[in-house]
A = this chain, B = another copy of it.
Amino acid sequence: MSSTDRFLTCDCGRPLVTVDVVIFTLRHGDLQVLLIRRQHPPFVGMWAIPGGFIRLEETLEEAAIRKLEEKTGLRDVYLEQLFTFGHPRRDPRDRVITVAYMAVIPATGVVSRATDDAENVRWWSIYDLPPLAFDHGDILHYALTRLRYKLEYTAVGFELLPEQFTLTELQTAYEIVLGESLDKRNFRRKILSAGIIEPTGRYRTGEGRPAKLYRYREDAVAEVKARRLFP
Give the contacts of A80-97 with B (CB-CB under 8 A): 81, 83-84, 86-88, 95, 97
A contact patch SS: loop
Q: Are A142 and B229 in contact (CB under 8 A)?
A: yes
Chain B residues near A59: list those with CB within 8 A: 86-88
Nearest B residue (CB) for A145: B229
User: How would residues 45 to 72 of chain A score, 1 for a CB under 8 Å from any chain B CB and 0 otherwise?
Assistant: 0000000001011111000000000000
Q: What is the count of identical protomers in the complex?
A: 2
A206 CB contacts on chain B under 8 angstroms: none
A167 beta carbon closer than 8 Å to chain B:
no
- List residues of chain B with CB within 8 A of the CB of A60: 84, 86, 97
Q: In the complex the two chains form, is A95's CB within 8 Å of B13's CB? A: no
Contact, CB under 8 Å: B229 / A54: no
Q: Given B9, B14, B138, B146, which contacts A16 in the complex, CB threshold below 8 Å?
A: B14
- Do A15 and B17 form a contact, CB below 8 Å, given A86-B60, A142-B230, A145-B229? yes
Q: 7 A–B contact pairs at CB < 8 A?
A: A9-B12, A10-B12, A10-B14, A54-B97, A59-B87, A142-B230, A145-B229
List the interface of chain A (C-beta within 8 A of B): 1, 6, 9-10, 12-17, 54, 56-60, 81, 83-84, 86-88, 95, 97, 99, 138, 142, 145-146, 229-231
